Amino acid sequence: MVTSSNSHQKILLTGVNGQVGHALQALFSKHAGYSDAIIALDRTELDLTDADAIRRVVAAIKPDIIINPAAYTAVDKAETAPELAYAINATAPKILAEEAAKAGATLIHFSTDYVYAGAKSSPYVEDDATQPLSVYGKSKLAGEDAIRAVGLPHLIFRTSWVYGAYGNNFLKTILRLASERDALRIVADQLGAPTSSHSIAEAVLAVLSQLENGKPQNEVTGVYHLVNAGQTSWHGFATAIVEEYTRLQVDRNWPPLKVTLANIHAIGTRDFPTPAVRPANSCLDCSKLARNFSVTLPNWRDALVAELQNLTQFRSP
C-alpha cells in the first residue's frame, strides 16, 4: 500500500498491479501533491470478491475519489467463469458505488467496447444501444448499470484494446511471437482503437484535475468513451508494432525480429475462433469527452511509439 497526507483530494485506487492501475500510479507519482494523495491497493490489500473488505476499506480510508481499474479481464476464460467475472465486474462496482455514496466520494470506473454488438457501420457514441456478445461484456455492462442505479456522481470510461509497456497484452505478445516465428496470422476484420495505458492515465489525470478545480459533477456525471484517436484492425496494429519496432531498433541496438512485414498475414475472425465472441466494430467516438472536458487522446500510432520506447526500459521482447 502507498499512502500519506496531501494537498489534493484523497484518492483510493484499486488494482494497482493492472495495466491501467499501474499507469495511473506511475503518473500520479510524478505529480507533486498527487503522489501524496493516493492510496493505491493491489488485490492482496483489497480483494474485490470480498464485499465486507470493500466496505471496511472504503469506510476506513474515507476517500474523496475512488478510481477502480481492477477488473476480471480474461475475456475468453470469463465464458466458463461467469460467477467470478460478475463478482468482480458487476457486484464489486455496485458495492464500491454504495460505499462511495456513503463517503460522499466520486467513483471513476472503467468499462469496455465489448458492451456493444459491433454491428454499427460507424464509431459508437455513448447513447448507442448496448448489446454485449460475451460474458465479459455482459458483466462489465452489469457493473455500469449497478453504478448508475446507485446514483452517485460517477464517471465511467469505456476504453478498448488496452496495451502498454507494463503488463501482458497484445503488444508484448506480438513482439514475442515476431521474435520467435517467421510468419504471423492476425485477425483483420475487427476494427478498433489500440489504447495505451499511459494515454488513459494522462486523460484521467486531466479530468480529475478539472473535478478537483470545481467542475460541477452533476453536469459531467455519466459514461464516456476514452480511446486513442484513429482506428485500425488487429492486423494493422500488429503490422504497426513490427514496423515501429524495426524502425526504432536500428539506432537502439534492440534485438531484431524474425518476422518480416510481408509475412504478417491478414485472416478473418472465422479463421481464429475464440470462446468469447468479439464485436466486429469496436470503434468509439470520443467527442463527448472532448466536449465536456476538452480532453482528446493522441493518435494510436503515436501512443504506440511512446510505449515501445518505454518497453525497453523493462526488458527486450
Q: Which residues participate in catalysis according to the annotation? A: 136
Q: Tell which one of 160, 196, 228, 239 touches ligand NAP (CB under 6 A).
A: 160
Would you count residue 132 as binding ligand NAP (CB under 6 A)? Answer: no
Q: Tell which one of 70, 115, 186, 223 touches ligand NAP (CB under 6 A).
A: 70
> Which of residues 81 and 206 has its CB atom nearest to ligand NAP in the complex?
81
Per the CB < 8 A criterion, the answer to whether 87 and 146 are in contact is no
Determine the length of the chain.
317
> Which of residues 63 and 167 has its CB atom nearest to ligand NAP in the complex?
167
Would you count residue 137 as binding ligand NAP (CB under 6 A)? Answer: no
Binding segment for ligand NAP among 108-116, 124-132, 148-156, 287-295 (CB under 6 A)?
Answer: 108-116
Would you count residue 3 as binding ligand NAP (CB under 6 A)? Answer: no
Name, in order, each residue with C-beta under 8 angstroms of 232's C-beta and a sequence gap of 6 or more. 191, 192, 193, 194, 240, 300
Name, in order, each residue with C-beta under 8 angstroms of 219's C-beta and a sequence gap of 6 or more. 292
> What is the rounded CA–CA span in Å between residue 54 and residue 8?
23
Binding segment for ligand NAP among 110-118, 127-135, 273-281, 303-311 (CB under 6 A)?
Answer: 110-118
Unique residue bearing C-alpha cell 510481408: 262
Unique residue bearing C-alpha cell 455482459: 138
Q: Tell which one of 40, 54, 65, 88 touches ligand NAP (CB under 6 A).
A: 88
- Residue 129: CB atoms within 10 A of its CB come to 9
> Which of residues 110 and 293 has its CB atom nearest to ligand NAP in the complex?
110
Q: Tell which one of 162, 174, 203, 257 touches ligand NAP (CB under 6 A).
A: 162
Question: Within positions 30 to 69, which residues make up the interface with ligand NAP, using CB under 6 A?
Answer: 43, 46-49, 69
Minimum CB–partner distance for residue 4 and ligand NAP (Å) = 22
Name, in order, each residue with C-beta under 8 angstroms of 298's C-beta and a sequence gap of 6 or more. 199, 228, 229, 306
> What is the rounded CA–CA span in Å between residue 22 and residue 297?
18
| Amino acid identity for residue 183 in this structure | A
Would you count residue 126 as binding ligand NAP (CB under 6 A)? Answer: no
- Taking CB atoms, the residue at the shortest distance from ligand NAP is 18
How many positions of this chain bind ligand NAP (CB under 6 A)?
Answer: 26
> Which of residues 73 and 231 has its CB atom nearest to ligand NAP in the complex?
73
Unique residue bearing C-alpha cell 497484452: 169
| Helices (H), ranges, the chain | 19-30, 34-37, 51-61, 82-86, 92-103, 135-150, 170-180, 197-212, 217-220, 234-252, 287-293, 300-314
Minimum CB–partner distance for residue 167 and ligand NAP (Å) = 5
Per the CB < 8 A criterion, the answer to whether 165 and 245 are in contact is no
Would you count residue 161 as binding ligand NAP (CB under 6 A)? Answer: yes
Would you count residue 77 as binding ligand NAP (CB under 6 A)? Answer: no
Site for ligand NAP, rule CB under 6 A? 15, 17-21, 43, 46-49, 69-73, 88, 110, 112-113, 140, 159-162, 167
